[in-house]
Amino acid sequence: MSAGLSKRDGVLFVVATPIGNLEDITIRALKVLAEVDLIACEDTRRTARLLSAHGIRKPMLSYFEHNELRRVPELVERLKRGDAIALVSDAGTPAISDPGYRLVRAALEAGCSVLSVPGPSALTAALSIAGLPTDRFCFEGFLPARSGPRKKILADLKHEPRTIVFFEAARRLPETLPEMAEIFGADREAAIVRELTKIYEQTLKGTLGDLAAAGAALKGEVVLVVAGASEAEGGQAEMGGLTVEALREAGLGLKQASDLIARITGRRRREVYQEALHQAERESGSGGDRGES
């Protein structure tokens, strides 16, 4: 095999394939796909088109979310007999938000070799062009389709300081984006990246409030990149939810509440006061407590 393993060793190659443009595949990936005994793929028809485009003919076996429990033992047994198998998904890197990780785990537990053949990934591709911080980020995959569980996850992520990356179906954006705007705040920066590497590739950048209005017209699958919580929001989380709003509900005036929060967090009182003032204006729609200074 091209990886330097003897035929009797058996090896599972986790092969990244194009997320759109069929030219986005590595020389090594093509060599591995041409040499393995079997290709385990999410959709045999889709993989057949990729193989045909590069003049490769190999046996394929479907491996996807609804047949994985049946396929994993079969594939592991073939690995133990010495077969070389390539695992591919419909697009991008296998095992990232798809059932491929179960086969990887089972192969490792059985003592089989597992090698990565890296390449395209919608996660990193979208993150690289979203224009949001990339030094630290977290990946949340697909959100639940139902509103209740989805809102719970979003609420748990409200104070996450790292850039957050989601996969989402465009048809659900009219529901997901307004919920994000409500929970994270309409002013939170975000980017919608769709049709990556294809003819109609598009990146929409703006606030969650702005994007919520634009999301209804989009189609296909998208990557949604959302800015992390600001230091102010993170400070609120660290204080166990103690905020200017909570202190005002307890009877303090805007100035007093802002002063107390500033002393606890070490932030400037004027900065805290201005943020609280703007929040009050948004909630009331009528200028807030401008009379208090």
CA neighbor of 115 nearest in space, from 30, 19, 27, 32: 32
56 φ, ψ (degrees, to nearest 5): -115, 135
Higher-pLDDT residue of 14 and 7 is 14
pLDDT band at residue 267 using 50, 70 and 90 as cut-offs: low
Residue 196 token pair: 């990556």
Average pLDDT, integer, range 61-76: 90
| Res 216: pLDDT | 67
| Res 282: pLDDT | 58
Between CA 120 and CA 83 the distance in angstroms is: 25
Residue 245 token pair: 């709003």
C-beta pairs of 111-114 under 8 Å, 24+ apart in sequence: 112/10, 112/11, 112/12, 112/76, 112/79, 112/80, 113/5, 113/9, 113/10, 113/11, 113/12, 114/11, 114/12, 114/14
pLDDT band at residue 291 using 50, 70 and 90 as cut-offs: very low
Helix, strand, coil content of the chain in percent (nearest 5): 45, 20, 40
**What amino acid occupies position 113?**
S
Write out pLDDT tens, residues 148-171.
Answer: 999 999 999 998 999 999 999 889
106 CB-near residues (< 8 Å, 6+ apart): 72, 73, 75, 76
206 φ, ψ (degrees, to nearest 5): 170, -165
Average pLDDT, integer, range 236-253: 66
Write out pLDDT tens, residues 109-141.
Answer: 999 999 999 999 999 999 999 999 999 999 999
Q: Are 38 and 71 in contact (CB under 8 A)?
A: no
Write out pLDDT tens, residues 79-98.
Answer: 999 999 999 999 999 988 88
The residue with tokens 């980017």 is 191
Average pLDDT, integer, range 19-26: 94
Question: Which segments within 177-291 are labelled E, that is strand?
Answer: 189-194, 202-207, 221-226
233 φ, ψ (degrees, to nearest 5): -65, -40
Instruction: Judge whether residue 286 has pLDDT over 80.
Output: no
Instruction: Judge whether residue 246 has pLDDT over 70.
Output: yes
Write out pLDDT tens, residues 70-79.
Answer: 899 999 999 9
Write out pLDDT tens, residues 209-229.
Answer: 999 987 667 887 899 999 999
What are the b/e assignments for 143-182, b being 16+ CB within 10 Å?
beeeeeebbeebeebebbbbbbbbbbebebbebbbbbbbe
